[in-house]
Amino acid sequence: MGLGVSVGGKQVPNALKRFATSLATSPEEAYVPLRKTPELFSSLLRDEWLAPTLMEVVAAAREGKMHPGLKKEAEGIYSFELFTPKFCRALLDEVDNYFETGLPVRRPNSMNNYGLIVNEIGMKPTITELQQSVLLPIAKLLWPKIGAAFHSHHSFMVQYRSTEDAGLDLHTDDSDVTFNVCLGEEFTGAGLTFCGYMGAHDHRHFSYAYQHEKGRAVVHLGSRRHGADDIQTGTRRNLIIWNHNMQHRQSREYAMRMYDYQQESGPPDKRCLSFTHDRDYPLYKDYPPGTEDNSKRAWCPPPAACYDTMSDDIRNSRTRGPVKKKT
Ligand SMILES: [Fe+2]
C-alpha cells in the first residue's frame, strides 16, 4: 500500500482515504480528507494571504471614504489589491488537487468548460466570511443601495487558454455585485472589455478595457455588459464571486428592469457585440464557428429598444431570419 494524501501535514493511507470517501454523501464531503491546504477551508483572513493595503481599504470604506488603494478604473468599475501571490498559488494548487481526485466537477455556467465552482469543494463558508468582512464594506461604499447587504454568493474559478476556452462572449452576470480577482498564471492578452449597463441606451457602447493583474480584484455591477478578451498566450485563472442582495432583487426597480429598457441611442460598437445574445450580430460580424445556432435564442435588443437605424427585418424578428450582413 503506497502513501496516501497529506491531511494537516500527516500522511493518510490510501485505504483510509478510500474508506472516508466511500462514506461521503457529496463531492464536497468526499474531498474533506483530500484537502491540500486545510487552512483554505477554515479562514482566508490571514495576513500572509491578504494584500498589505487591503484592511486599510476596508477600514476607509467602513468610514465612507475611498482609500487610494481602491482605484476608480472608469465609471462603475473599481479595482484593488486583494490577495498575495502566496494565496493565489495556494488556491490554484487546491483546485488542481481537486481535479486530480477525479471527484465530480460542476462547471460555473454554460459558458465555461474548464472552471470549477469552489463553493462545491467546501470553500463556501470561508468565502462567506471574506464576503461579509471585506467585500461588503467596499460594495456598500461604491453602491450604497445595491451593495447594502449580501445574502449569498456564487463563487467559482474560471480558466482561459488559447487551446481551450480562449475568452468569454459579452454578457451580464446573474450577480448584483461581482468581484473578479486574477490568480495568475502567466499570460498575454485576456483583458476584460466593459460596455454599458443592461437596459441603458448605451448598453452596447464600449466604455473601458481592464487589464488583469495577479492578486488584484476588479469590481462592478452584474448588470454591466462585459466580456473576456481572447487570451494570446499562457493561462489565466480567476476567482469570481457573484454577490446577491435579496432585498435588491425584491425591489420594484429590479422587477421592472426589462420593462424599463431604454431605446438604444445608436448602433452597437463591434467590440460590445455578443454572438450569444444580440439579434443584430450578423449585421456586423460573422458568427464564430459553431455558434450560428445562437441566433435562434438571441434577444437583444428587445423590439422596443431598437436603435432608429436598425433594419426592419431585425427589428421585427426575434431570430436571425433573412438578415444580410452589412457590406
Ligand atoms: Fe461575467
pLDDT of residue 19: 60
Whole-number Å distance between alpha carbons of 302 and 96? 42
pLDDT of residue 24: 66
Q: Is residue 7 part of a domain?
A: no
Same domain membership, residue 243 and residue 177: yes
pLDDT of residue 3: 37
Helix (H) or strand (E) holding 111: none
Mean pLDDT is highest, among 9-23, 57-71, 286-300, for 57-71
Same domain membership, residue 283 and residue 158: no
In the predicted structure, residue 325 carries a pLDDT above the cut 60: no
pLDDT of residue 320: 41
Task: Please name the residue ranges forming H helices in 44-103.
Answer: 54-62, 85-101
Ligand 1 center from residue 9 Cα (angstroms): 37
Ligand 1 center from residue 6 Cα (angstroms): 35
Mean pLDDT of 42-65: 98
**CATH at residue 35:** 2.60.120.620
Mean pLDDT of 234-262: 92
Mean pLDDT is highest, among 111-120, 130-139, 158-167, for 130-139
Ligand 1 center from residue 8 Cα (angstroms): 35
**pTM as predicted:** 0.89
Domain of residue 121 covers 26-252
Same domain membership, residue 220 and residue 281: no
Whole-number Å distance between alpha carbons of 306 and 318? 12
pLDDT of residue 327: 35
Q: Is residue 226 part of a domain?
A: yes
Closest C-alpha among 60, 166, 67, 64 to residue 112: 166
Q: Please give the tally of structural domains in the chain.
A: 2
Q: Is residue 154 part of a domain?
A: yes
Ligand 1 center from residue 19 Cα (angstroms): 39
Ligand 1 center from residue 235 Cα (angstroms): 18
Bridge partners for 80 per DSSP? 217
Ligand 1 center from residue 38 Cα (angstroms): 29
Same domain membership, residue 308 and residue 246: no
Same domain membership, residue 196 and residue 87: yes
pLDDT (tens digit per residue) in 177-199: 999 999 998 888 889 999 999 99
Q: Is residue 278 part of a domain?
A: yes
Same domain membership, residue 211 and residue 125: yes
Q: Is residue 57 part of a domain?
A: yes
Ligand 1 center from residue 175 Cα (angstroms): 9
Ligand 1 center from residue 322 Cα (angstroms): 31
Same domain membership, residue 241 and residue 105: yes
Task: Choose one of 218, 252, 286: the last residue of a domain.
Answer: 252
Same domain membership, residue 280 and residue 188: no
pLDDT of residue 319: 46
Average pLDDT, the chain: 89
Q: Is residue 8 part of a domain?
A: no
pLDDT (tens digit per residue) in 302-322: 888 999 888 887 887 654 433
The residue among 322 and 42 whose pLDDT is bigger is 42
Ligand 1 center from residue 116 Cα (angstroms): 15
Ligand 1 center from residue 188 Cα (angstroms): 19
pLDDT (tens digit per residue) in 64-110: 999 999 999 999 999 999 999 999 999 999 999 999 999 999 888 77
Ligand 1 center from residue 285 Cα (angstroms): 22
Task: Choose one of 208, 228, 252: the last residue of a domain.
Answer: 252
Ligand 1 center from residue 107 Cα (angstroms): 14
DSSP letter (8 states) at residue 157? E
Same domain membership, residue 117 and residue 162: yes
In our burial notation (b when 16+ CB lie closer than 10 A, e otherwise), range 182-221 reads bbbeebebbbbbbbbbbbbbbbbbbbbebebebbbbbbbb
Q: Is residue 258 part of a domain?
A: no
Ligand 1 center from residue 216 Cα (angstroms): 16
Ligand 1 center from residue 177 Cα (angstroms): 11
Q: Is residue 306 part of a domain?
A: yes
pLDDT of residue 294: 76
Ligand 1 center from residue 167 Cα (angstroms): 11
Same domain membership, residue 194 and residue 298: no
Same domain membership, residue 192 and residue 112: yes
Ligand 1 center from residue 316 Cα (angstroms): 29
Ligand 1 center from residue 103 Cα (angstroms): 26
CB of 146 closer than 8 Å to CB of 248:
yes
Ligand 1 center from residue 226 Cα (angstroms): 6
Ligand 1 center from residue 173 Cα (angstroms): 5
Whole-number Å distance between alpha carbons of 234 and 240? 19
Share of the chain above pLDDT 70, in %: 89
In the predicted structure, residue 4 carries a pLDDT above the cut 80: no
The residue among 268 and 232 whose pLDDT is bigger is 268
- Cell (9 digits) for 84: 498575495
Radius of gyration of the chain (CA): 22
Same domain membership, residue 107 and residue 236: yes
pLDDT (tens digit per residue) in 203-246: 999 999 999 999 999 999 999 999 999 998 999 999 999 999 99
